[in-house]
Amino acid sequence: MTRTLWHTLFATGVFACAIAGCAGVPTTLATTAQAHTISPHEVCTHQHHTGAYTLDKSNPYGWSCYNLAYSISLFSGFTFTPKGNLNMQAYCTARHHGTRAIVDRQQAQPTWQCVP
C-alpha cells in the first residue's frame, strides 16, 4: 500500500509540476510592456517634414520641425523653413498603439518616450 501511495503522490507531483511550470517555464505570459525612446527627427518625418532641430538639447520641449528645399533659379540654393512644434503624442499613438508620450529625465540629456 505504501508503494502505491508513493507512486500516486509522485505521479500527481510530476503532473502538477508540469502544469505549474516547475521546470523553469513561466506559468504566465510576460506582460511587461517596453518603453520606446522617440527620436525628434522621426517625429518630424512622421509629420511630413525634413527633420528636427533645437538650440538647447537639455530642453525636451524646445524641439521644432523644419523643411529643407533646394531651388534652381537665378539665386539657387537651399531654403530652410521652420515648421513648428513636434506632436509627440500623435507619434506614439500612431507608432506604438496604446502608449503615451512622456519625458524621461533619468539621463543627462532628457529624452521623449512612448510608454504603456
Q: What pLDDT, on a 0 to 100 scale, did the predictor assign at position 93?
A: 94
Residue 69, classed as helix, strand or coil, is: strand
Q: What pLDDT, on a 0 to 100 scale, did the predictor assign at position 102?
A: 94
Q: What pLDDT, on a 0 to 100 scale, did the predictor assign at position 9?
A: 47
Give 31's contacts (C-beta < 8 A, 6+ positions apart).
none
Q: What pLDDT, on a 0 to 100 scale, did the predictor assign at position 109?
A: 83
Q: What pLDDT, on a 0 to 100 scale, did the predictor assign at position 3?
A: 56
DSSP 22-66: TTS--SS----PPPEEEPHHHHHHHTTSSEEE-S-TT-TT--EEE
Q: What pLDDT, on a 0 to 100 scale, did the predictor assign at position 41?
A: 94
**Separation CA 43–CA 54 (nearest Å):** 14
**pTM greater than 0.85:** no
Identify which of 19, 53, 40 has the alpha carbon closest to the alpha carbon of residue 87.
40
Confidence of residue 30 (pLDDT cuts 50, 70, 90): very low
Residue-wise pLDDT for 38-95, tens only, equals 999 999 999 999 999 999 988 999 999 999 887 777 777 777 777 888 999 999 999 9
Residue-wise pLDDT for 12-25, tens only, equals 554 444 444 445 54
Confidence of residue 8 (pLDDT cuts 50, 70, 90): low
